[in-house]
Structure 1
Amino acid sequence: MSSIYILWDDAHIWGLLIKRALESWNVDHELVRGHQIAQGLLSGKPPAALIVPGGWAKGKAMKLGGPGILEIQKYVSEGGNYLGFCGGAGLGLSKTGGLGLSCWQRKGFENRLHHFLSGHINVQLDQSSPLVPDALGENALIPVWWPGQFSPNKCDSTAALGRYREPGNDFWVADLCISSLPEGTLNDWHNMYGISLLPEFLHDRPAVVTGNKGKGRFILSYPHLETPASAQANIWLSHILDRMLGQKTQERPTLPAWELTDTPLIWKDPDLVSVRNSLEKIIATGQGHFLLFWRNPWLLGWRRGIPGAALNSLYALICKVTSHTPNDAAIEKWNSCKADFMKYMNLFEEGVTGYLLAERFAMTMRSLEPETFFPKALREQRNGLFGPPPGAGGIYAKLLYMLEDLVWEMCRKEQNATEL
């Protein structure tokens, strides 16, 4: 039990984040797929920990299937460690299709705005837990990116390691930066419109939880401790990894910033280069029409309703693919899917460009001539390209899964070579 496994299915950009963190710290790890787990990988070659990144929890459960879910439950019960972030945290909860490691469930949203929270937030820590490093003290400023929420239940050992407190300076609700608003604005809006944007409903709610399942342990975190250049979050992640690996606490550096647009171009296959260029053009179109912007060096921001997260994942994955020297497996995989991928990519570029321009046109007409506003048509156009939220669908899903498979082939062969 030495390597850490990362469940790669439906991980999107979040899988890249945790892989990048472990690479930066030289922590031994492998990418694994749901079908491998269903076939007994965790029993035949148990890891020190299974990490499940963010992404779509239901999609992960579907890829695992009933046998895969049972295998993870067995692995944890027999002494394994499970660490889930955001979607991976939701997967660990007790609900239809979940792992049921904890009897807690995912809390629904009474106000849909409450789901669209992002940025750093203060978290009060349980300093009595060995899973909380002394170096952080009583509070830590850690990031959340559109998190779910826990619905606590007293039926098992699940307990909070950290609870939400006040938001940090970079905290957003949907596409509004709270700290950029003049003092009193939110109260004025609440009095005038009856809508509260302050995340007061989060106060004292669990952010990170842990518990035992049989002989094993799970940690479920809606905050993303693997976020680049987030010092206190990274300290906590490093400490958790050491506890799971059964080693003394190490001092690791803060994860480096991820300058996504500066990712080197090494695999210069003409079609892959054109894909990268196409996605950059789409993003530039969104920027030029006030629909997209770079929130930080690795993360897009977007106007409410624009599928920025999907575009971010595609761009991050193509940057990952083209920044490596390809091995034989990656070349073979790309050659086998290239024709289909390029066909879908051409449709996607044309369709998304038209969709973004239509959204921009609707923004203008909504104020000038409200009767011409066409939300149903825009929704149908978006769903055809990206599928209905929250899952991945449409042309986007075809591109996403082919890129995830391509990264998997590249990294799997690298892992096998390292083992040899």
Structure 2
Amino acid sequence: MTLMKSWVASANTADTPFPLNNLPYGVFSVDDSEPRCGVAIGDYILDMAAVEDAGLIELDEDGAFDLPFWNDVMELGPEVWAKLRARLQDMLVEGSADQAAVEPYLVPLAAAELHMPLLVAEYTDFYAGKQHAQNMGAILRGSPDLPANWLHIPIGYNGRASSVVVSGTDIHRPNGQSKAPDADMPSFGPSKRLDIELEMGAIVGTSCDHGTTITVDQADAMIFGYVLLNDWSARDIQGWEYQPLGPFQGKAFGTSISPWIVTTAALEPFRTATPPREKELLPYLNSTTDGLFDIELEVLMQPAGADKATSLSKTNYSRMYYSAAEQLCHHASGGCGMSAGDLLGSGTISGPEKSEYGSLMELSWAGREPFTLDTGETRTFIEDGDTLTLRGAAKGDGYQVGFGACEGTILPAIKFPA
């Protein structure tokens, strides 16, 4: 597919993440205005509440855009999603008869503050990157062999929706318990092995009731869109606590997402198949639709005071073993109800080369192999003041479908009361 031309000139450049092909959904405010729904186009945000008030867009539910989240639009379902996207493209396409009516409702992106684009109902994080799982096995157990269940089931754990924050939100280094290998007792204090996880987040747009099940194809149709996701991880806290019930405090202090929801419809031209199965999946996980997308991803680190960031890793969402639709299908397979606004983290995305590893745990091999930044500084894990940024885009013919940055800066730990 080639670039779709818009009368918004900045949407027609090859380097913009927000061409007419994209039209991602976010929430913004300007000055002291209340946050409300907006659509990114080039260097601007289309004020959806104002467009609706002007009678240029009509939904089945009045006022769905004059809210600080997209959940109400999600719940209207795929047919409404498709009509909304078609109407937006019709208004913004080059030569549109609506240009004069729409143009006053464009807000400069540079003048806006971006907010969480949705109310996160629940958050589940998966462990669906095969290379990452093998690397973690080699680091932690001395063997890259996968757990016995890994090739049969999308493994995940239930996280904390309250910890999900929008890009640009600072994260305090977490306090917690950890135990040195040669210590008799654990200690309590700031994490010394703070990490990131490069992930994609799938946003469930429509619900399924408790006690029901869905197919993979139905699950795919339920996904409203995708965000970049950084599941910040305290490896020392996690290592002490995770047996026998899995991650807890080591993952509960912060998960950052990009500010724009890129719709599944915008990503359709970039669909790609999951990799060949090493073990045949059980029939309920079969599908008729390719479930992954060709999305190029990058991790960058910038120390406090540095004038530029260092690129640490580049990989691709197509490296995943399980798709978001397979994860969602399995999540509901036991009768778990799924809701509009549920967020599913893909799991860390790593490729076979070190330059494609999606966590510092892998890049530094658990701290044993420090890496050097462009500033000359070395790192094994994150230090206070470091800013970590995830970038991602699907690349087309003369255009890209981007997500905006997923960024966070680590602040010192909050002093625990005596």
- Report the TM-score, using the length of structure 2 for normalisation: 0.25
Structure (1/2) with the larger helix percentage: 1
RCO (CA 8 Å, sep 6+): is it higher in 1 or 2?
Answer: 2
Structure (1/2) with the larger strand percentage: 2
